[in-house]
Amino acid sequence: MNFTDNLETISLDELNEAAALQRRTDRKYILTQAQAEQVLPQLAQQALVLSIDGRRSSDYTSVYFDTPDLASFHLAAHPRRRRFKVRTRSYMDTQQCYLEVKTEGARAQTVKERIEHPFNARAALSEQSLIYIQETLNHELGTCPIHTDALVPVIDSSYTRTTLYLPQTNSRVTVDENLVWTDPKTGFRLECNEIIVETKSAMNAGPADKLLWRHQIRPSRISKFATGMSLLHQHLPANRWHKTTKHKISTAVSLHP
């Protein structure tokens, strides 16, 4: 969608200085194409758009890791306290990659820690990576809930992201399109036809949330990791995402990449 063509830009360094938001409150919304065409131009009126090397959107790939018994997934599905996610996030345009450990802290705040990771090894975890994961989980959760050396890649998600900065509240909004989930073992793919908007702020509901609410668009339970897992593997519990997967997410199925 070309809703950012007339926006002023902000660089990545400027954005990180203004709104790094490693500790934040996230709200996610699922928009149809028609809703996005109506709402996003209004949202853009109060925003700057992230520009990297002249590009106003970027292609991302995330590889999520879990234990053989899917400890991370089940902690999210039930749900449980001390939840966590481990992933590599790759910026495909610049071939940068980071290992990220996300935990959910007090008052549903998301805490994200990350270090650089080799781009060509984004589906693998080195011994150094495993030590970092364990130390981060120990620090954020009090104790590491898993054997980190058991982590394996369980799902890939790829998408195109546009990032907006709202100067009024020093907050971010991301707009994700062309979302594709892939099972790394089988190559089975699901393509999502909706647009995922996520607000990220250090405060309660901001202007982006209120704009979406005025258009009768409410937050949805969607996790690129957990929702994708429940769609790719029908035997997994999907209670938290039943409404999302059954009524809001439409997918096109492709058997091979």
- 45, two tokens: 């009126």
Res 97 pLDDT > 60: yes
- Look-up: residue for tokens 């995922």? 196
What confidence score (pLDDT) does residue 68 get?
95
pLDDT band at 118 (very low <50, low <70, confident <90, very high): very high
- 195, two tokens: 């647009």
At 165, the amino acid letter reads: Y
Query: If you average pLDDT over residues 231-240, what whole number do you get?
Result: 79
Tell me what the pLDDT averaged over the chain comes to. 88
Contact 18, 48 (CB under 8 A): no
What confidence score (pLDDT) does residue 237 get?
76
What kind of fold does domain 22-254 have according to CATH? mRNA Triphosphatase Cet1; Chain A (3.20.100)
Half-sphere exposure of 98 (CA within 13 A, CB side): 11
Res 21 pLDDT > 60: no
Res 210 pLDDT > 80: yes
Rounded Cα–Cα distance for residues 31 and 46 (Å): 19
**Which among 160, 213, 164, 162 is positioned nearest to 44, based on CA atoms?**
164
DSSP at 244:
I
Residue 52 CB-density burial (10 A; 0-12 exposed, 13-18 middle, 19+ buried): middle
**What does residue 94 show for φ and ψ, rounded to 5 degrees?**
-105, -5
What confidence score (pLDDT) does residue 240 get?
61
Per domain, the residue ranges of the chain are 22-254
**Which among 83, 84, 68 is positioned nearest to 150, based on CA atoms?**
68
Number of H helices, E strands in the chain: 7, 12
Tell me which of 35-44, 167-176, 242-251 is least confident.
Answer: 242-251
Q: Would you call 141 helix, strand, or coil by DSSP?
A: helix
Contact 241, 219 (CB under 8 A): no
Letter string b/e over residues 163-177, b meaning 16 or more CB atoms within 10 A of that residue's CB: bbbbeebebbbbbbb
Res 6 pLDDT > 80: yes
What confidence score (pLDDT) does residue 215 get?
96
What is the pTM assigned to this prediction? 0.86
Q: Which residue has the higher pLDDT, 215 or 105?
A: 215
Digit-coded pLDDT (tens) for 156-181? 999 999 999 998 888 889 999 999 99
Rounded (10°) angle between helices 207-214 and 33-44: 140
pLDDT band at 249 (very low <50, low <70, confident <90, very high): confident
